[in-house]
Amino acid sequence: MRSIVGEIVSNSKEVTVMDMEASIEHMSRGTVRYVDALLVVLEPYYRSMETAGRTVPLARALGIQHIYGIANKLRSPEDGEAVAAYCRNHDLELIAKIPFDDSVVEADRTGRAVIDYDVTAPIVEELSRVADFLLREIKINGNGAGGN
Amino acid sequence: MKIAISGKGGSGKTTISATLTRILARRGLPVLAIDGDPNPNLIQALGLGPGVEAEAVPRSVVERREDEAGQARHVLTTTIEDIVSQYGLKAPDGVTVLVGTRVDHAGAG
Ligand SMILES: Nc1ncnc2c1ncn2[C@@H]1O[C@H](COP(=O)(O)OP(=O)(O)OP(=O)(O)O)[C@@H](O)[C@H]1O
Ligand SMILES: [Mg+2]
């Protein structure tokens, strides 16, 4: 699958968003070669942050240009501060703090997209800021580390 | 612009991928979402109702070839446009979604 997905990403002419499998061992050069940006999701607990922490040097070694952290399921300011501190210590730029959002739970329960369930949900607002940020930082027609 | 989302199991990769995809599409951009997880559920998170399933892109769309230097690499055996039109599903806001196949360890990577 890695090479199939990698080849599709590399040949795609559209804005492309790839939902990856959890284990970072699968982050082979074949899959992520043409990716401009890797968003690493961190929950505010140790094993989740450690997984993210291991991903960053691997992604750098693969030549991915933009690597950003996204904190998710934060339940308190302390949660946010814990993820921020981890990212600072691991040289990972944190670009979003998404709270634990009941809209996600409710949307999942009814099998809907959260953006259809409630367009004003905190996760939608935070990811809108992420979209603004990415559109500023990355060329829309860019084509990853191995591209051009 | 090509973005990948990674993170520990259950951290919210699929929810974030789907929501970001829909937001980018609402900005008027053509967006292709790819489910690279062997247990695909991106389709539902994008808002295609329960029960909708995509035919996974088969391995036969890539082929291993050796270049002049004898280096093996994978190339598409058909055009990206054909793959998208044959296997892509249309999701809300004009999003197209493709589902990768399960991991085949032989020769992968
Ligand atoms: N911000 C949030 N607030 C509340 N619940 C959330 C949030 N983000 C994700 N979830 C919930 O966490 C669970 C896992 O989310 P999701 O499926 O997006 O994660 P994943 O990383 O893709 O998981 P997997 O590794 O199994 O593919 C789901 O039940 C989802 O509803
Ligand atoms: Mg998932």
pLDDT for B107: 40
**Contacting residues of B for A69, CB less than 8 Å apart:** none
User: Which residues lie at CB < 5 A from ion ligand 2?
Assistant: B 13-14, 37
Distance CA A97, CA A132 (A): 15
Ordered DSSP codes for A94-147: EEEEEEP-HHHHHHHHTT--HHHH-TT-HHHHHHHHHHHHHHHHS-TT--TTT-
Going from the Cα of A123 to the center of ligand 1, the distance in angstroms, rounded, reads: 12
Helix A102-109 to helix A122-137 angle (10° resolution) is: 100
pLDDT for A99: 98
Pairing of strands B95-99, A37-42: unpaired
Residue pair A77/B43 in contact (Cβ under 8 Å)? The answer is no
ipTM: 0.93
- Whether A8 and chain B come into contact, CB under 8 Å, resolves to yes
Which is more confident, A14 or B73?
Answer: A14
End-to-end CA distance of chain B: 23
Domains (ranges, CATH) in chain A? Answer: 2-137 (3.40.50.300)
Task: Kindly report the pTM of this predicted structure.
Answer: 0.92
Pairing of strands B31-35, A15-19: parallel
Residue of B5, B13, B17, B19 to mutate for A, most A C-beta atoms under 10 A: B19
Q: Residues 40..99 of B with a Cβ closer than 8 Å to A: which?
A: 42, 44-47, 49-50, 57, 59, 61-62, 74-76, 79-80, 83, 92, 96, 98
| Mean pLDDT calculated for residue range B59-81 | 86
Q: Which atom of ligand 1 is nearest to the CA of B37?
A: 27
pLDDT for A3: 73
Q: Which atom of ligand 1 is nearest to the CA of B11?
A: 21
Candidate of B5, B6, B14, B34 to mutate for ligand 1, largest count of ligand atoms within 8 Å of Cβ: B14
Which is more confident, A44 or A144?
Answer: A44
Using the beta-carbon criterion (under 8 Å), do A1 and B108 form an inter-chain contact?
yes
List pLDDT tens digits, range B31-61. 999 998 877 789 999 999 888 888 889 888 9
Going from the Cα of B15 to the center of ligand 1, the distance in angstroms, rounded, reads: 6
Half-sphere exposure of B8 (CA within 13 A, CB side): 17
